[in-house]
Structure 1
Amino acid sequence: MTERNPYAISFGRIPTQYISRDIIIDEITSAFNSDISEEQAFKITGIRGTGKTVTLTAIEKELSQSKDWIIVDLKPGAEFTNDLVAYLYTEVPFITSYIDANLNLSAFGIGLDLKKKSPAASLDLVLVELLNEIKKKKKRVLVAIDEVRKTDSLVDFIQEYQILIRKDLPIYLLVAGLYEDIEDIENTDGLTFFLRATKYEMTPLNIGVIKEDYKLTMGLSDDVAYKLAVMTKGYAFAYQAFGKYMWDSKSKEITPMVLAKADDALAQKVYDKIWSELPPKDKWYLSFIVQKDSMDASELLEITKKKHSDWSEPRRRLIEKGVIDGQVRGKIILKLPRFKEYVESKQF
Structure 2
Amino acid sequence: MNPFNPNFGKVPQLFLDRNQIVNEYISELDSNLDSPLQTSVIYGVRGSGKTSLLTDISNQLRQKGHWIVIDLTTNQDLIPTLTYNLYQEATSKFEQLIGKLKSIKVSGVEFQLKNDVPQSIQYQMMLKQILNQLAEKQIKVLVTLDEVKATKEVREFASLYQLLIRENLPIALIMTGLPENISELQNNSVLTFLLRSNRIELSPLSHEAVIKAFAEKFNEGNRQVANPILHRLTLLTRGYAYAFQLLGYLVWKNSAAGDVINDQLIDRLLPEYQLALSRNAYTKIYQDLSYQDREFVRAMANSTDDKVKMKYIGEQMEKPSNYIANYRQRLLDSQLIRVAGYGYVSFTLPLFKDFVQWYAQYDDAGF
TM-score by length of 2: 0.85
Quote the residue 1:223 is aligned against. Answer: 228
Shift of 1:253: 1.4
| Letter matched to residue 42 of structure 1 | S
C-alpha offsets along residues 294-328 of structure 1, whole Å, 9 cap, x if unaligned? 12212333455432133134323433443211485
Contact residue 210 and residue 239 of structure 1 kept, 8 A: yes
Cα distance change of structure 1 residues 183 and 110 upon mapping to structure 2, 3 Å threshold: same
| Letter matched to residue 76 of structure 1 | T
Q: Does the residue aligned with 2:190 lie in a helix, a strand or coil?
A: coil
Quote the residue 2:287 is aligned against. Answer: 276
| Letter matched to residue 324 of structure 1 | I
| Letter matched to residue 213 of structure 1 | A
Q: Does the residue aligned with 2:100 lie in a helix, a strand or coil?
A: helix
1:322 correspondence with 2:339: no
Q: Does the residue aligned with 1:332 lie in a helix, a strand or coil?
A: strand
1:252 correspondence with 2:261: yes
| Letter matched to residue 238 of structure 1 | A
Shift of 1:6: 2.0
> Which blocks of at least 5 consecutive residues in structure 2 are unaligned?
220-224, 362-367
Residue of 14, 27, 30 corresponding to 1:17: 14
Shift of 1:148: 1.3
Contact residue 149 and residue 177 of structure 1 kept, 8 A: yes
TM-score by length of 1: 0.89
Residue of 262, 267, 279 corresponding to 2:278: 267
Shift of 1:24: 2.0
CA distance in 2, matches of 1:344, 1:140: 50
Cα distance change of structure 1 residues 28 and 286 upon mapping to structure 2, 3 Å threshold: same
Cα distance change of structure 1 residues 328 and 198 upon mapping to structure 2, 3 Å threshold: farther
Q: Does the residue aligned with 1:191 lie in a helix, a strand or coil?
A: helix
Quote the residue 2:100 is aligned against. Answer: 101
Quote the residue 2:222 is aligned against. Answer: none
Residue of 240, 244, 259 corresponding to 2:245: 240
Contact residue 179 and residue 320 of structure 1 kept, 8 A: yes
CA distance in 1, matches of 2:141, 2:354: 46
Quote the residue 1:68 is aligned against. Answer: 66
Cα distance change of structure 1 residues 327 and 69 upon mapping to structure 2, 3 Å threshold: farther
Shift of 1:329: 5.0
CA distance in 2, matches of 1:95, 1:65: 14
| Letter matched to residue 168 of structure 2 | D
Quote the residue 1:311 is aligned against. Answer: 324
Q: Does the residue aligned with 1:44 lie in a helix, a strand or coil?
A: strand
Q: Does the residue aligned with 2:242 lie in a helix, a strand or coil?
A: helix
Q: How does 1:282-297 map to 2 (within 5 A)?
A: 282-290=293-301, 291=303, 292-297=305-310
Aligned residues: 343
Contact residue 4 and residue 14 of structure 2 kept, 8 A: yes
Contact residue 84 and residue 111 of structure 2 kept, 8 A: no
Contact residue 95 and residue 130 of structure 1 kept, 8 A: no
CA distance in 1, matches of 2:134, 2:252: 48
Cα distance change of structure 1 residues 110 and 249 upon mapping to structure 2, 3 Å threshold: closer
Contact residue 100 and residue 112 of structure 1 kept, 8 A: no
Q: Does the residue aligned with 1:314 lie in a helix, a strand or coil?
A: helix
Cα distance change of structure 1 residues 283 and 119 upon mapping to structure 2, 3 Å threshold: closer
Contact residue 20 and residue 55 of structure 1 kept, 8 A: no
Quote the residue 1:52 is aligned against. Answer: 50
Contact residue 297 and residue 356 of structure 2 kept, 8 A: yes
Contact residue 90 and residue 98 of structure 2 kept, 8 A: no
> Which blocks of at least 5 consecutive residues in structure 1 are unaligned?
none
Contact residue 147 and residue 176 of structure 2 kept, 8 A: yes
CA distance in 2, matches of 1:102, 1:322: 47
Q: What percentage of residue pairs aligned between the two structures are identical?
A: 29
| Letter matched to residue 100 of structure 2 | A
CA distance in 1, matches of 2:350, 2:101: 57
| Letter matched to residue 101 of structure 1 | K
Residue of 89, 92, 112 corresponding to 1:91: 89
